A and B are shown apart, each in its own frame.
Chain A
Amino acid sequence: MASRQTGLTDVWITDVRAVTALGDLEETWNGLLQGRSAIRKVTHFDTSGLPCHLAASIDNLCPPADGRSRLHPILDRVLAEPLIVPKEPFLITATIKGGIDNLEAIGRGAHADAGDILPSRLPLLVAEKLELDVAPGGFNVNAACASGTIAIARAASFIRSGICDCSVVCCVEPLSLFVYSGFASLRILSSHPCRPFDRHRDGITIGEGGALFVLMNGRTAVEMRCPCHGVIKGWGMTNDAEQIITPARDARGLTDAIRKALACACIDANEIGAVGAHGTGTIHNDASELRAIHEVFPAGTLPVYSIKGSLGHTMGAAGAIEAAIALKALSAGVVPPTIGLQNREQHPEVRVVAQPTSFRGRQMLTMNSGFGGVNCALVLGAHVR
């Protein structure tokens, strides 16, 4: 099946933003290409007694003094510029634990806004910050580490189905002791900066960040004279139905999610130019993901990368941040290096790249998996005039 021009019925990406430990989207992209890592010692909470002391935290992100969660300064950076959207866009947010740092603060006896704790309040917070009247029915997606990916998929699906003309997707996850100690207790945190797809990988490094996508149908985007940064072409969601924490060894769920996303995009596997992997750096995730990629793309020639060796695992925001980076990659025709990768897994044969690598093709695949057996894959397309 041949790719076609971007049409008015496609789901256009008219705005895309990200804030990571490397900076805004442009700074993050440039930093990734330069091989920079934002992983450093955690300073804003005490990690003594824990086996790991590293994270990719955002600089100068002081929590507000008025008892608000650390998610506010991240959101303030993501939402700094006004949006160009039609009346009452549909708002979807994604976070796993949102302002859980305020629950910690309250537990310590400090003054903190309990209203920031529940993820169900995040859509209201985002709408307030944007000073936006949004359509009724907006919600926050929690699908563990695939939350951001599923939020984008849901927004795109609502637009393609004609349920709404425009959707704003805002994903955010601050770093907290709550989450950090949990992953430490599961013995999933690496004591080194994480090494996705490396033979000696031994766990994740946690990061923090946020991202925003504005999606519209092409007709609305043209009417509003919005730019097109790319298109969401397809999506696929599955559950492994096997284990809660670790992905299925046979990678069947993730393989099915990728195939569903390709079918949804009406393209063949050979039309994908590169793959932005979840690549957490855990033994099981990366092994399962390599297996799924090999299953769908057996030639082993596609460049595959993970950005978590630089930005850490940004949890509920990861899928959206990674989709934003994939759009930059599509635009530049080059994928960023997998920072931390030194000794590549040899089997199965998958071309995980440790250097910036050029690719051909106008479509990319990104994917994430998470606790609860969740898998989601997205097919992103470059804007074709």
Chain B
Amino acid sequence: MMEAFITGIGWVTAAGLGRGREGRFSWGEGELPAISRKDIFADPRPHFGRMDRFSKFGLAGVAMALRDAGVESGANQTIGVIASTLRGCNDTDNLYLRTVQEMGAQFASPHLFVFVSGNTFLGEASIAFGLRGPTFLLSEQDLSGRTVLSTAIEMIVTNQSDAMVAGMCDIVPPDSGASNGSVSRQGALFFVLQKGSTKERTYGTLELNKQHLFFEKMPVDDISWLAARLSGR
């Protein structure tokens, strides 16, 4: 049995931005809100406005989770960040390809190309918050988030990182016609998992037994269930 403490929860969904100690998680309904730099950072970040939509949502979810855990400054730990996704940066792929096909390959957008590697937002989060641990994107069909949380626990227990920010980020392209209520979950939801924690800072213990995940002995089949259960308590 492997275990880690949940110390932070953060999200951005159709219901807005939120974090576990200040609100109740839900996926909400309808379209995702616009994210501005001021929602996440107090200081000017000229680069933020140029990020693709996928990166903005992912970065916002990571930021809210770190804020909830009180480790926005890294707290002198090695923190990694991993995320699960189904569609990844597919929206950005389409935008980039349009520059290639409409203007010619020699006029492809270098700016958009940087964001067609789905892991770029994890790098943005690493830079923004000084996270020097492992970073990678898990693309999978199952958006329950079990694999990404299991992976994070395993990485903490085996000393690959002191703490991990782990969760999911998935968005539907706004012009796909699928974003008006027909997609039940889109946005970003992240947890901060740590090796040790004070009683005041923890939501409880997440356990991994082989490939099965438990919170306080209850099976965890979906991270949104976990977020809904723990937030706003």
A104's nearest neighbour on chain B, judged by CB, is B97
CB of B154 within 8 A of CB of A161, answer yes
CB distance from B67 to the nearest CB of A (A): 18
- B160 located at the interface, meaning its Cβ lies under 8 Å from any Cβ of chain A in the complex: yes
CB of B138 within 8 A of CB of A139, answer yes
CB of B120 within 8 A of CB of A244, answer yes
- B22 located at the interface, meaning its Cβ lies under 8 Å from any Cβ of chain A in the complex: no
A119's nearest neighbour on chain B, judged by CB, is B139
Measured in the bound complex, the distance between the Cα atoms of B94 and A144 in whole Å is 19
Measured in the bound complex, the distance between the Cα atoms of B127 and A243 in whole Å is 7
B208's nearest neighbour on chain A, judged by CB, is A163
Place the interface of chain B in its size category.
35 or more
Specify which chain B residues have a CB less than 8 angstroms from the CB of A243 in the assembled complex.
127
- B215 located at the interface, meaning its Cβ lies under 8 Å from any Cβ of chain A in the complex: no
**Pair count A-B, CB < 8 A:** 194
CB of B157 within 8 A of CB of A161, answer yes
1/0 contact trace for B123-165 toward A, CB 8 Å? 1101100111111111111100011001100110110100000
A121's nearest neighbour on chain B, judged by CB, is B141
A260's nearest neighbour on chain B, judged by CB, is B160
Please report whether the interface of chain A is mostly helix, strand, loop or mixed according to DSSP: mixed
Residue of B93, B135, B155, B210 most packed against chain A (CB within 10 A): B135
Specify which chain B residues have a CB less than 8 angstroms from the CB of A97 in the assembled complex.
93, 116
Given known pairs A120-B87, A137-B211, the reply for A244 and B127 (CB within 8 Å) is yes
- B-side residues, CB < 8 A to A, are 2, 80-81, 84-88, 90, 93-94, 96-98, 100-101, 104-106, 108-110, 113-114, 116-120, 122-124, 126-127, 130-142, 146-147, 150-151, 154-155, 157-158, 160, 208, 210-211
21 contacts between A and B (CB under 8 A): A47-B105, A97-B93, A117-B90, A120-B85, A123-B140, A137-B142, A141-B138, A143-B135, A144-B117, A161-B154, A163-B154, A177-B105, A178-B93, A181-B106, A182-B113, A187-B110, A237-B80, A242-B127, A264-B160, A370-B119, A373-B127
- A-side residues, CB < 8 A to B, are 46-47, 49-50, 96-97, 100, 103-104, 107-108, 117-124, 135-144, 146-147, 150, 154, 157-158, 160-164, 177-178, 180-187, 236-245, 253, 256, 260, 264, 370-374
